[in-house]
Amino acid sequence: MIECHVSIMNDDEIEVFLQTLTIKDLKDVITEYKGVKGISNYHKGELIEAFTNLLSEIDQKKAYEKWMPRKIQENIERATNMLSRWKNAEFFLDDHNKEYIVDITWPGGEKDHCEVKLENNDVKHACNCKLGEYGGICVHLVGIIALLYLKKKLTLDQVPFLIEESWLAPVLAMQDEIMSNLADPSEADIDLNEYWIFIRGEKITSKWTGDYAGIKTVDIGGLNANTKTPTSVEEWVVTKVVDKQLEHLRNTGKVREIITDKFGVIDKILTNNKQLKRLQTAFKRAAEKFGHESYPQTPEEIRKALRIGLIE
């Protein structure tokens, strides 16, 4: 844990700190510094009042120095997952007007809405979640701040709460997943109709929608370091696209449309004898299963079938 030393604390800092803490946090803090009993049924307002009345200014400062960095780092960890994995989170990024929004709809229908606006060197923010609505530093706000830091839209000096650059290590480690998760489908190198592949050097990110929506990044360099059978970016991508085609042919008898092919994967499939043979076998089995009178067999026929949905 990184130690933080605060020389001056004002009422606003204390208020933000108290609103950032959860009910459990407040109980733990008060008990740690005062050892009081009888607060198990207190609601948040009562706990904030107890903190203010029972703890000396010195203890309040100590609590802030110990707990505030911890809470921010916890929220950074959660925000990393929100940015890269949460399928119920929608992001609206308006770089022109410097307005950034995250909307989250939970299974029960409850919604969280957080807005951040950059005005000169100031960061204006508001969130309607249980922590944010009273001015606490919530995971949604931290997530947008982390994203803007990644996008080089702000510096940490502009952030309206305590944060150290080293705390952002989880975000930086997931940078490829985050950027691909938030990327527009038009930015994908390959669009397999609701399944997108983004290629950045040796890192390949796949993103998909549906009931089991998700995102996954593979580092080919790291993969080769841990396997006896080295592969290349081209081989991995070609195999993945053929795998998706085989799955679709098996389930529907049709190819999965390739909407965008900036990588040239169709041509690469046709020059890969192993993957071409897999497709030929899959087309034959699909024809038998679904009663097709004919099916693509030659490389040129397969090329035509794979290009059927392609937008040039």
Q: Which residue has the higher pLDDT, 54 or 230?
A: 54
| % of the chain exceeding 90 in pLDDT | 72
Residue 278 pLDDT more than 50?
yes
Q: What is the per-residue pLDDT for 4? A: 44
Residue 10 pLDDT more than 80?
no
Band of residue 6 on the pLDDT scale cut at 50, 70, 90: very low
Q: What is the mean pLDDT of residues 279-293?
A: 96
CA distance 241 to 217: 15
Q: What is the mean pLDDT of residues 260-279?
A: 97
Q: What is the per-residue pLDDT for 5? A: 40
Residue 248 pLDDT more than 70?
yes
Neighbours of 210 (CB within 10 A): 9
Q: What is the mean pLDDT of residues 162-172?
A: 94
Q: What is the per-residue pLDDT for 8? A: 43
CB proximity list for 51: less than 8 A, separation 6 or greater: 18, 26, 29, 30, 60, 63
Q: What is the per-residue pLDDT for 312? A: 67
CB-hemisphere CA count at 13 Å for 289? 13
CA distance 176 to 199: 10
Band of residue 171 on the pLDDT scale cut at 50, 70, 90: very high
Residue 119: strand pairing partners:
122
Among the listed residues 194, 237, 239, 191, the one whose alpha carbon sits nearest the alpha carbon of residue 213: 194
Residue 296 pLDDT more than 50?
yes
Q: What is the per-residue pLDDT for 106? A: 87
CB-based contact 191:258 (threshold 8 Å): yes
CA distance 217 to 21: 34
Residue 38: strand pairing partners:
none
Q: What is the CA radius of gyration of the chain?
A: 26
Q: What is the per-residue pLDDT for 2? A: 37
Residue 115: strand pairing partners:
101, 126
Write down the mean pLDDT value for the chain: 91
Q: What is the per-residue pLDDT for 85? A: 81
CA distances from 9 to 15, 58, 62, 70, 216 (A): 10, 10, 11, 17, 43
Band of residue 9 on the pLDDT scale cut at 50, 70, 90: low
CA distances from 143 to 39, 91, 285 (A): 32, 10, 47
Residue 232 pLDDT more than 70?
yes
Buried b (16+ CB within 10 A) or exposed e, 300-311: eebeebbeeeee
Q: What is the per-residue pLDDT for 180? A: 81
- Quote the tokens at residue 198: 């983004």
CB-based contact 140:112 (threshold 8 Å): yes
Which tens digit of pLDDT belongs to each residue from 24-38?
999 999 999 988 888
Residue 3 pLDDT more than 60?
no
Which tens digit of pLDDT belongs to each residue from 77-101?
999 999 988 878 889 999 899 999 9
Q: What is the per-residue pLDDT for 117? A: 95
CB proximity list for 75: less than 8 A, separation 6 or greater: 137, 138, 139, 142
Residue 170 pLDDT more than 90?
yes
